[in-house]
Chains A and B, each alone.
Chain A
Amino acid sequence: MITTDIIIIGAGPTGLFAVFEAGLLKLKCHLIDALPQPGGQCSEIYPKKPIYDIPAYPEILAGDLTDKLLEQSKQFEAGFTLGERAETIEKLANGTFVVTTNKGTQHNAPIVAIAGGLGSFEPRKPSIDHLQDFEDKGVAYMIKDPEIYRGKKVVIAGGGDSALDWAIFLSEVASEVILIHRRNEFRGALDSVDKVQDLKNKGLIKLITPAEVTGLFGKSKLEAIEVTEIGGLSQRIVADNFIPLFGLSQKLGPIANWGLEIEKNAIKVNNALDYQTNIPGIFAIGDVNTYPRKLKLILCGFHEATLMCQAAYKIINPGKRYVLKYTTVSGIDGFDGTRKEAPKAVIKSIN
């Protein structure tokens, strides 16, 4: 069981900034996210797109914002459970919560902050007969451990960055990589497209376009796929693995069944006070919450995270008085023993 002060569900910008604000109050955080990397939408959907309304940044790429948030809070040593979706919550007799993921990882804390954005990312699955029967038996929608494809015959379907990037990566791991896309053009970073062209010319990636995977075959696991050229013939190809990469959709998911008040696909919170939900000890911050005049902006998430941490402090330290400290004055003491502080002024006479 992982124990911490605040379990944060969702490692997007709001969740990451909550780590920093909690750290200032000497509270430790552990984040859970369905994606294999932190950053939420910023890293998954638009890492190379600029954002113009982050205070003090006239322009910052979403991917860079994620990196800077991680950098800002790194001395507070947050824990991460990545690639797992928060599934259930249970309140123990001592008043603390246990959050369990779909992989069975358990987390225990007195405070839970849901910073889940528009919901957890789930793969968009193409409609192919028996697709679900082969899940974890050769079919996967996200790649967490590339090593399992070593020496295997892998078919990737899709035409975006992730299809290109994984085709490139797996060409050095798998015995054979076949990339199938509905059209001849790919949507990705130019260097990825060029690299795939190069690997194709060298015979290290086989391209089948414009075509679609239309069938899956195998007894206890995937053994072959059927690929059909658009407006053309079908053929059966021997394959150990099939990885359809058609992007991700976001769903509120299991959180919707936690007994929280939901309105417009978002969690209702008390915005006059501390962004607590109808269940004391559970907060919702950032895009996942709603209240009158809510704005789904990253900068609003930062503010909400800050107030949530203050409320968490009061719950964890009942009756203890708190005086606001400014980082410029008091510096930052990391949980890793580091200290940041403003340089002392020099007092010296000038003759």
Chain B
Amino acid sequence: MSNDVNIQITDRDGVTHCVLAPTDMALNLMEVVRLFELAPEGTVGVCGGMAMCASCQCYIESNHQLTEKLEDEDAMLSEAFNVKSTSRLGCQIQITNELEGLKIQLAPEA
């Protein structure tokens, strides 16, 4: 379907999943992880997507040009654990056509 993008997500057990994420449902990356149940319920998106808990932290493994971090996300990541230079909060990344082929890895549960 033209409205779907391929995203490769490596879960916390190191298993890689290829999913087709819809672009027409105003989803973000954290919600895609939940949609496909790639992490146990209650361990991703605990705050609901307000950039207030860092449970959806992920590492971006492909060279996609993502939207800039806003202050909220930047500040939350400054307090999170296991942060790398490629860290982002999944809840702050909207699923758009530009994300075709995106590769991410979920950060460990903190």
Contacts and interface: CB of A to CB of B under 8 A. Distances in A.
Interface of A: 41, 45-46, 49, 118-119, 124, 126-127, 158-160, 181-183, 185-187, 246-247, 249-250, 252, 264-266
B81 A183 contact: no
B14 interface: no
Given A45-B52, A49-B50, A264-B41, A159 B78 contact: yes
B15 interface: no
B76 interface: yes
A264 B42 CA distance: 8
Indicate the member of B41, B47, B53, B79 with the most A CB atoms within 10 Å.
Answer: B79
B99 to A, nearest CB: 26
Secondary structure of the A contact surface, majority rule = loop
A45 B79 contact: no
Contact of B46 (A159, A160, A250, A264): A250
Contact of B79 (A127, A158, A250, A265): A158
Interface string B36-77: 000011110011001011110000000000000001100110
A252 B79 CA distance: 23
Given A127-B81, A187-B78, A247 B42 contact: no
B78 A46 contact: no
Given A41-B47, A45-B52, A249-B55, A266 B79 contact: no
Nearest to B110: A124
Contact of A247 (B41, B50, B71, B79): B79
Given A264-B41, A265-B41, A249 B46 contact: yes
Secondary structure of the B contact surface, majority rule = loop
Contact of B47 (A46, A119, A181, A183): A46
Interface residues of B, number: 20
Given A187-B72, A187-B78, 13 more contacts: A45-B52, A46-B47, A46-B52, A49-B50, A118-B46, A124-B81, A187-B71, A187-B79, A249-B110, A264-B41, A265-B41, A266-B41, A266-B42
A264 B40 contact: yes
Contacts of A160: 75, 79
Given A187-B75, A187-B76, A126 B81 contact: yes
B58 to A, nearest CB: 17
A122 to B, nearest CB: 11
Given A252-B42, A265-B41, A265-B42, A246 B52 contact: no
A247 B78 contact: no
A205 B41 CA distance: 41
Contacts of B75: 159-160, 185-187
